[in-house]
Amino acid sequence: MSNSNAALDPELGLRVDALGRAARALGTQWDRAQAEALYEEAEALAERAQASGLADLAEAVLGLAAYLSSFADSALRPNAAQLDQLRALAEAVNDAQQRYRARIDVAVLAPERAAPLPPRPAVHFLGADVAQRELLRARLAPLGYELAACNGVREVEQALEAGVVLALVIGADALAAWLTERRGEAHRDAAARVPLVVLSDRDDIDVRLAAMRCAAESMFVLPDDAARIVPRLASMIADRSEPYRVLVVDDDQSMRLFCASVLRHNHMETRAVATPEEALRALHDFTPDVILADLYMPNLSGFELLALFRAHPRTAFTPVVLLSGDADMEKRFAALHIGGDDYLTKPIRPRHLVAAVTSRARRARWMRRELLAVH
């Protein structure tokens, strides 16, 4: 469990504190030798935090390491905007460190006794309806899936932390608890990595709204959808086993390396290119689930690049997330108006980048599944 591991590793907190301070100072006064040293330290601390189960801390430190890597091994010197990005990433490390310290305090004052977890990955069910649970169990068994019935939100969170949840099915009676009792961003991130569906005995607007607020990918209404549940769950599980593919198009080398490193650490396959010409060539052997594109590039604007992607048969319906250092709302509206799916303003925090890409990629694959099911 992450709390107990954190309590047993006080040195990690001290070193992360020192890393954050040094990175903030580096953002004010650049020193290449110091950048190289901080990059190596950040890499080591990211691995250590990950091994301790501190996913949010590991992500923040990795984002800093990824950004430093683009300068540590080259003669590139960051400009003012890039130094702003470095300071923002250092602040993200500090924020994660504060959450980490709060978790240590809770663990020391009130250590929790972990509930037993299934020994093997399984489909997990949260709900009190025995008929729904047994229907799932009976229909999953022929495909070789086990069903684990959870007694509460905390038990689901423990299973998510342990990585044993193939898919999560929530009964309509448990939606309110799932919406209100989840403890933090780390658990929300873990939940986002597994398929989540809702099972209900009635089809009404309140249940559908609650399912939407839970970010459920599908809702099944019994008895009409009984035959559809398990085949759809199986396709979702298979879908999650294949990494999301992301094409990054940005003329800024540091931003390309940053995006690629953060996304790869989150188990996504990336292709990073510097020009629109390279992006179009990449489509010959790389079909992205999401495209990240800089809004401002030499010779071609992000708006024009977006139009090219929308006209290309392989990316006509691919989500495009535009990246820009310009916070002008009019440009954001213009980007969305011509077919952009999201707009991220630099400096970009790793958590925001991962969330934007994951949600768009998941939606794109869901739409493909639904279209195939119809036909």
Same domain flag for 202 and 157: yes
Mean pLDDT rounded to a whole number for the chain? 81
What residues make up the domain containing 339?
A: 245-374
pLDDT, tens only, 270-297: 999 998 889 999 999 998 999 999 887 7
**For residue 13, what pLDDT band results from cuts at 50, 70 and 90?**
confident
> Of 222, 241, 260, which closes a domain?
241
Range in 124-128, 242-246, 331-335 with the lowest mean pLDDT: 331-335
Q: How many alpha carbons lie under 13 Å from residue 212 in its C-beta half-sphere?
A: 6
pLDDT of 135 above 90: yes
Percentage of residues of the chain with pLDDT beyond 70: 83
pLDDT, tens only, 313-334: 888 889 999 888 776 677 677 7
Same domain flag for 186 and 297: no
Same domain flag for 67 and 139: no
In a domain, 25, yes or no: yes
Q: How far apart are CA 5 and CA 15, in angstroms?
A: 16
Same domain flag for 185 and 271: no
> Of 216, 241, 266, which closes a domain?
241
pLDDT, tens only, 203-215: 999 999 999 998 8
Helices 55-72, 32-51: inter-axial angle, 10-degree rounding = 150
pLDDT of 107 above 90: no
> Of 221, 241, 261, which closes a domain?
241
In a domain, 216, yes or no: yes
Going by their DSSP bridges, the two strands 296-297 and 300-301 should be labelled as antiparallel
Same domain flag for 252 and 205: no
Residue 264, domain CATH: 3.40.50.2300
Same domain flag for 236 and 259: no
What size, in residues, is the chain? 375
Same domain flag for 304 and 361: yes
pLDDT, tens only, 186-203: 555 555 678 899 999 999
Same domain flag for 212 and 296: no
Q: What is the DSSP string of 140-204?
A: HGGGT--EEEESSHHHHHHHHHHT-EEEEEEEGGGHHHHHHH---HHHHHHHHTS-EEEEESS--
In a domain, 116, yes or no: no
